[in-house]
Structure 1
Amino acid sequence: MKKHKLGYILGTILIVIVLIIGGVTIYHQGVQEGKRIAAKTILSATNEKSSSTETESDSSGTDSSEDSESSESDDNTITLDDEDYEVTDSKDYKPVFSDSSWTNTKVGIDEVKVLQSDGTTEDSDGNEVNGIVAVHYTIDAGKDINMYPTQGTMNTNSGEQVEADMSASDDFDGELNSGASVDGWVIYFLKKLDSIKDLTSVRLKWDADYDTDDIDDDNFSHTYDATVQLN
């Protein structure tokens, strides 16, 4: 009788453990999927109301652009990392940025969206948000590499420097095998953006590296430095 009771208890404990592990796995999958959906909400919420401009760049990492028109949008609410942001104006750019200078890896920036918020909401760190910049990256890995746009920085022409918000951005970077092609949105929150027209350029920096046992290999790490004009 005691053995039967002990076996019943152990079996019950095992079932509970399996249910807990399964629940945690499903939760994390839901969080990651939610991040991807949240970042892409920027497009669905504002694309129909914004105008775009074609820009061209050279391989040195600096983008040149032509004049574009700005259009005001009706109030929209977007959700990023479970936070709602009221968007009062938006502007969409279509830069043609490409950099293949390192490890035969091609990195592109093909869309930049600038959003003005009403300034009554806060980011994940509790800072008041007045503007949002969403940058769409594409990566075609030419080697087994590690790349981290979601851990980079952005400088604006107004002098503001901010870090990418990893929790609000898409989950697409990190360890990439040779031949992998990925893309995703990286989100940057601005504290000062009185008008969409105030933002005329952004400088984006992020790091990449690959594993090597060669102590003389000075090419194993690389910092990308891209300037995109928004006027």
Structure 2
Amino acid sequence: MKKWFIGVVLVVLLVLVSGCGGAQDAVGEGMREQPDPKTEQQPIEPAADTTSPDGDIEQVEYDLDIVEEWNGLKTEILGLGIASGVESAWQEEDNSDVVYVKFRIENTRDDGAGHFTTYPDQATLITSTGEQLEADMFESDNIGGDLYEGVIKDGIVFWVLERGAPFDISWVRLKWNSYDEAEDVDFDKWATDHDVRIEIE
């Protein structure tokens, strides 16, 4: 009886161990198959490298000219900034490390064909230093939501880094969604995933 019981336990353990290995392999495969970004910016150089007069805030800013057009929705990324020592009324930490991006979005339709819903102010940020962050909606400008014909919105979106080392970042990737709310839009064209990678020298 004891031998039979021990045999069953050994078989169950072997099945569990082999199953765990398969799960790890599957996760690894999924990570390697991550799709490439739709838009990729060539390496950029700083437009400004400044320190605040009291020396508390360090920041580097980059001018960008990334433009995406989709169904009449024009999205521009005009600048990228990285800063350390930023004070915030909303964050628990006294000084935060942040990444911020300047957007301009425009509904270029002028025929009443419908509006867009877009959420760059809810974009996910992925960094070369291993962070995946959601936008800080308290600090960011409110540029998301409905965008009617002819409307242009400008604003800056912030992400607060959790691991620090902001000036070690060599690239960032931005992902968010937009939707075409026109009544006659084709089913396969009613939504798009924005996916932009920016290389930093």
Q: Same fold by TM (over 0.5)?
A: yes
Partner of 2:74: 106
Residue of 175, 189, 200 corresponding to 2:170? 200
Residue pair 1:61, 1:98 contacting (<8 A) in 2 also: no
Aligned counterparts, 1:33-44, within 5 A: none
Aligned counterparts, 1:160-175, within 5 A: 160-175=131-146
> Could you tell me how far apart the structure 1 residues matched to 2:126 and 2:60 are?
18
Runs of at least 5 residues in structure 1 that lack an aligned partner in the other structure: 1-59, 77-85
Asked if residue 94 in structure 1 is aligned to residue 72 in structure 2, the reply is no
Asked if residue 131 in structure 1 is aligned to residue 108 in structure 2, the reply is no
Residue pair 1:74, 1:88 contacting (<8 A) in 2 also: yes
Q: CA offsets per residue over residues 184-209 of structure 1, 9 Å max, x none?
A: 0111110122352x011110111111
> Could you tell me how far apart the structure 2 residues matched to 1:126 and 1:170 are?
20
Residue of 178, 197, 200 corresponding to 1:227? 197
Asked if residue 154 in structure 1 is aligned to residue 120 in structure 2, the reply is no
> Could you tell me how far apart the structure 2 residues matched to 1:221 and 1:129 are?
38
> Could you tell me how far apart the structure 2 residues matched to 1:225 and 1:138 are?
16
The amino acid that maps onto 1:97 is: I
Asked if residue 65 in structure 1 is aligned to residue 18 in structure 2, the reply is no
Asked if residue 116 in structure 1 is aligned to residue 84 in structure 2, the reply is yes
Runs of at least 5 residues in structure 2 that lack an aligned partner in the other structure: 1-37, 110-114
Shift of 1:92: 0.5
Shift of 1:172: 2.2
When Rg is computed on C-alpha atoms for both structures, the one with the higher figure is 2
Pair 71,214 (structure 1): closer, same or farther in 2 beyond 3 Å: closer
* Secondary structure in structure 2 of the residue aligned to 1:92: strand
Which structure has more relative contact order (CA 8 Å, sep 6+)? It is: 2
* Secondary structure in structure 1 of the residue aligned to 2:52: strand
> Could you tell me how far apart the structure 2 residues matched to 1:125 and 1:161 are?
18
Asked if residue 74 in structure 1 is aligned to residue 44 in structure 2, the reply is no
Partner of 1:141: 107
The amino acid that maps onto 2:42 is: S
Q: CA RMSD in A?
A: 2.9
Shift of 1:178: 2.0
